[in-house]
Amino acid sequence: MHIRRALWRCAVPALVIASSPAFAQITPTPGGVLNAIVAPEPPTLNVALQPVAVTQMVASKVYESLIVYSPKLEPTPGLARAWTVSPDRLTYTFHLQKGVRWHDGQKFTSADVVFSYKKILANTARTRAVMENVADVIAPDDDTVVFKLKQPYSAFLYSMDIGGGAILPKHLYDVPTEPDKNPHNNAPVGTGPFKFSKWVRGSHIELVKNPDYWRKGLPYLDGITYRVIPDAASRRLAVEQGTVQQAGAYDIEPFDAPRLAMLPTIKTTGAGSEYWAPMVWVEMNTSLAPFNDKRFRQAVLYALDRNFIVSKIFYGHGTVSTGPIHNKTRFYDPEVKRYPFDPKQAAKLLDDMGLKPDAAGVRARVNYIPMPYGEVHRRFAEYLKLSLGRVGIAVNIESADVGTWLKRMGDGDFQMVGNGVFQYGDPAIGVARTYISSNIRKGLAFSNTSQYRNPAVDELFAKAAIAPEAERQALYSQVQRILVEDAAVAWIYDVAPPVFLSKKVHDAITTALGTSGSYAEAWMSK
Amino acid sequence: MSNTSKYFARRVVKSLLVLVLIAIFNFFLIRAAPGDPAEIMAGLSGGADAQTLSAMRSQLGLDKPVATQLMMHLRSIATFDLGYSYRQQEPVASLIMAHLPATLLLTTTAFLFALASGIYLGVQAALRAGRWSDSAITTFALLVYATPSFWIGLMLVLLFSVQLGWLPAFGYETIGAGHVGLARAMDIASHLVLPALTMGLFFMAIYARLTRASVLEVSHMDFVKTARAKGMPERLVVRRHVLRNALLPVITFAGLQAGSLVGGSVLVETVFAWPGIGRLAFDALAQRDYALLLGIFFVASIIVVAINILTDIAYVLADPRIELK
């Protein structure tokens, strides 16, 4: 009797605790299918060949890479359980997880990694530049892969996200068919926590739980269904009605975000963009007057109330940029010259240049091409026109679709253009490319399209890319100070794109890749 | 060979020529837009170096002279091989076939709804010309005609999905419900109502106004007066004499609308997340997916040409005085 009473006394509080919301938060419940928005529809699911954002979001549940990045951007084990770097920083040795199988039951080995890097990734838009630092990739045994570098490349461990380092099955891709025509591109076979089930083009993509996943006990979810909803208003409605439990960063127009955030069923997080570290900026073509004078570029920065832009136009989803490196990217340094909102200073700089207002108050006439991604960028363009107009810079807004925007930006066929760029964890990968003079290449978007040239900047970026870790901060701090003084571009804001999740969804955003994480640990409460 | 056979033989030959001209025109039209598929694929993948871009262009055949590219295109459509979408990594034909059924279901439903309800309302308005019911129908038609269809769509969603909860707001079917057979058909039908209404209402208004005007005009013609004078019942006068003659302008317009059936409606398909070909074409244009876009254009042009021929046949059926020569 005493024992039973004692057990009862323990059981009652235990039941109370177990049924409390706090307890529910920490005890993952298996089961459930997560419905998430994907927009636009991914062109393909082969993330190695086309690492566009939407493909990464879906394919990151099916494929895996050697490394996963923590929210603090620390490399943590993925398909590699451990790795070592030789003292000369020329040899990276990866020890692979054991017991990993492809979704079709074949054993995953080092041969898959070697094949993926040498035959697939070395030829892709994203990873080709990284692989130019690599002399060879070899597999001494089934569980080990060795990358031999030509010269030290300090960002090497940051190039292995799912978009840059997805491992494909050799037994399905080492075939006479060219990789772009492989039928598995749209019916992927990976090693990840979810298996591809079905893709109804224009409607949805279904992934189901991989019961043989190498991380035992995971994943918790029975599946994930990505729903293609092309219209922004319909996407908002889908979240409001609970048809979907996840809307990604760019699915919801920023002006709809506050309304969704107030819903009692929805939680919002700005986490999960640390690896991408997206920045929005205005590029000025420095090969043309008056943009070739840094005073003009500085005047543009002074003329813009960037606090207003971030808080009112982009609804606070980020912070005002201080310079070329996003505040979440490694080696960010806030100790740089600042450009507060100061129209008088802007006017003074323009006066100093000799750009006096004409009878209509106009000092210079410029064209601006906004980013072609939604209503919010058109609103920003209107604000830019208004602000620069106040200091005598008359802005003519040119509209362009994505193709035209990319073409004109790549060809340098612009005066001012809105741009958004990812930084991929390390400045050597995602920052240098937009400022070094060797990357001024006609026809290539997201290169140094503003055509900024500064030998000192070239040298600092080159040194920092190969310098030992301890020496890199000083080099990047120096380059940030130069670029900010030169106002190489008008940095607007470091984006922290919000993700909208049902409050029933837990542990979805656990890595620096946000919605492009594996979701192995994600679960849904009942 | 009869006149009709000769007519069709001539039409088929002319149609083939038209198809080739359309294919050539489309080929140059899409290349007039700035940018190419390689640039967009590289750009959206986060950038590329010059070698990668050049390799992509070579793979897509964009490094060849334009004349060679055109000949390759004409040769491929002559063999009904619509090519391969490197962007979507699928054969163009399979992409079109995946989207065509949904579009045809939506557009045909909207077309039939618009035609049937438009003609009915037009006839009713004409027969009651000047009365309040005529005014009500005419005003309603004018209102629907003047209202943008995307706004009508949003309002229908607000009313029937959000407020009343009767119909799904978007999508083709309930994903994950696992319906089969009749249950699936009913599920798809419930998803079809709002987009088909949105798309059909505008055309319904046009048919109603067109039919009303045409019926009123024919009603005062001599042969109708004669039929009435002979004591023919009014119902038969309307059906046999008035309506049959009044339908000719309606058939002309229906032929034009039917021509757009395969193209779908980007707007309606976007608002209702309908997995149709209009949206596919829009995305292909945005991505400068030349092969896919040309494939869609080619299939659409075949259907438009075929519908034009069918419209001619419909003229003959509606009015035996017309002869195909």
With helix as H, strand as E and coil as C, how does A198-253 read?
EEECCCEEEEEECCCCCCCCCCCCCEEEEEECCCHHHHHHHHHHCCCCEECCCCCC
B170: chain A residues, CB-CB within 8 Å: 229, 231, 234, 237-238
pTM metric for this prediction: 0.84
For an interface test with B, give the residue of A158, A173, A226, A237 to mutate (most B CBs within 10 A). A237
Measured CA to CA in angstroms, residue B128 lies from A109, A435, B141, B228 at distances of 81, 74, 15, 17
Q: Which residue of B has its CA nearest to A37?
A: B273
Determine the pLDDT at residue B56: 77
A443: chain B residues, CB-CB within 8 Å: 39, 50, 53
pLDDT tens digit sequence for A218-228? 999 999 999 99
pLDDT tens digit sequence for A94-104? 999 999 999 99
pLDDT tens digit sequence for A293-351? 999 999 999 999 999 999 999 988 999 999 999 999 999 999 999 999 999 999 999 99
Residues 363-392 of A with CB under 8 A from B: none
Q: Which helix (H) or strand (E) holds A494?
A: strand A490-495
Residues 66-125 of A with CB under 8 A from B: 123-125
Q: Which residue of A has its CA nearest to B34?
A: A404
Nearest CB among B47, B87, B286 relative to A433 is that of B47
Complex-level ipTM? 0.75
Determine the pLDDT at residue B264: 61
Residue A346: partners with Cβ closer than 8 Å, 6 or more residues away: A298, A299, A300, A302, A303, A391
A199 touches chain B (CB under 8 A): no
Question: Residue A492 — φ and ψ, nearest 5°?
Answer: -100, -65
Q: How far is A515 from chain B (nearest CA, A)?
A: 17
Task: Report the alpha-carbon distance of residue A197 to residue B308 in Å, rounded.
Answer: 42
Within 13 Å and on the Cβ side, how many CA atoms surround B122? Answer: 28
Nearest CB among A53, A201, A401 relative to B99 is that of A201
A238 touches chain B (CB under 8 A): yes
Q: Which residue of B has its CA nearest to A203?
A: B275
Question: Residue B300 — φ and ψ, nearest 5°?
Answer: -65, -40
Determine the pLDDT at residue B309: 83
Determine the pLDDT at residue B1: 60
Nearest CB among A52, A225, A422 relative to B175 is that of A225
Q: Is A379 helix (H, G, I), strand (E, B) or coil?
A: helix
B48: chain A residues, CB-CB within 8 Å: 125-126, 128, 444
Structure-token match 């889908």, residue found: A238
CB–CB contact B39 A445 (8 Å): yes
CB–CB contact A46 B89 (8 Å): yes
pLDDT tens digit sequence for A503-513? 999 999 999 99
B99 touches chain A (CB under 8 A): yes
B48 touches chain A (CB under 8 A): yes
Q: Where does residue A156 fall: left (phi above 0), alpha (psi -120 to 50 degrees), or beta otherwise?
A: alpha
The CA-to-CA distance between both ends of chain B, in Å, stands at 12
Q: Provide block-wise average pLDDT over 10 residues at a time, chain A (526 residues).
A: 42 42 65 94 89 92 98 96 97 97 98 96 85 95 97 96 96 92 94 96 94 97 95 88 89 86 92 94 97 98 97 92 96 97 98 96 97 90 97 95 87 95 93 93 85 97 96 98 98 94 96 96 94
Which residues lie across from A91 on neighbouring strands?
Answer: A148
CB–CB contact B89 A44 (8 Å): yes
Which residues lie across from B90 on neighbouring strands?
Answer: B85
Two tokens, residue B83: 């090519």
Determine the pLDDT at residue A499: 94
Q: Tens-digit pLDDT profile for chain B (325 aa)?
A: 677 778 778 888 888 898 999 989 989 988 887 778 887 777 776 666 777 777 778 877 888 888 888 888 888 888 878 888 888 888 999 999 999 899 989 999 999 999 999 999 999 999 888 899 999 999 999 999 998 888 888 899 989 998 898 999 888 988 877 788 899 999 999 999 999 999 999 999 999 999 999 999 888 888 888 888 888 888 888 888 888 888 888 888 888 777 776 666 788 888 888 999 888 888 888 888 888 999 998 888 888 888 888 888 877 777 767 766 6
Q: Is A45 helix (H, G, I), strand (E, B) or coil?
A: coil
CB–CB contact A230 B273 (8 Å): yes
Measured CA to CA in angstroms, residue B46 lies from A421, A446, B96 at distances of 8, 7, 28
Determine the pLDDT at residue B325: 65
Determine the pLDDT at residue B117: 96
B274: chain A residues, CB-CB within 8 Å: 202
Q: Which residue of B has its CA nearest to A439?
A: B49
B84: chain A residues, CB-CB within 8 Å: 181
B222 touches chain A (CB under 8 A): no
Contact A454, A482 (CB under 8 A): yes
- CA–CA–CA angle A468, A469, A473 (5° rounding): 110
B286: chain A residues, CB-CB within 8 Å: 401-403
CB–CB contact A129 B41 (8 Å): no
Please name the amino acid found at residue B184: R
